[in-house]
Amino acid sequence: MTPNEALQEVGSQNQGSLFQRISHTISRWSGSSWAFMLALGVVLGWALTGPMFQYSETWQLVINTGTTIVTFLMVFLIQRAQNKDSLVLHLKLNELIAATKGASNRLINAQDFTEEEIAVLHRFYCLLAEKAQQDNDLGRTHTVEEAEENHAEKMVSHSA
């Protein structure tokens, strides 16, 4: 199945479960100016009622309980949105890697690599960056071997 066929199949289905639609709507709304103004209004309203309730423990408990519940629920919505955004970003990067001539397809799904594999790749790209810096042409090489060959050719041509 090609990516286009997969997208058409997904597009022909409904736009997600009820939970997905609700969480998406809440996530979008909670990041709006209106949500901030509402939260600010609640806090100001609570603060202004302090003298009326003589700053009692119950008065304090109301804001503490309310903010704790909202924070608890928002953590899950934020994490869900972040997971989705991260996955979409990985898919876009995978598409760029797959479509770019000379790019290493080994990096597709790099997010699934172990920490040790990531450390090895990091060292590789640090070495490649050093070689490219010596070459003064960052777009010329895609592998350490190419960088070393280009550098060696450059050194031979400068010494001749």
Residue spans of the domains in the chain: they are: 16-106, 113-160
pLDDT band at 7 (very low <50, low <70, confident <90, very high): low
Contact 127, 141 (CB under 8 A): no
Residue range 54-63: average pLDDT? 96
Work out the widest C-alpha separation in the chain, in whole angstroms: 90
Contact 15, 21 (CB under 8 A): yes
Per-chain mean pLDDT for the chain: 85
Residue 132: its pLDDT value, please?
A: 76
Q: Which of 60-74, 108-122, 123-137, 142-156 has the weakest average pLDDT?
A: 142-156
Task: State the pTM of this model.
Answer: 0.62
Residue 15: its pLDDT value, please?
A: 64
* Cα–Cα distance measured from residue 24 to residue 125, given in angstroms and rounded to the nearest whole number: 37
Contact 62, 50 (CB under 8 A): no
Residue 128: its pLDDT value, please?
A: 81
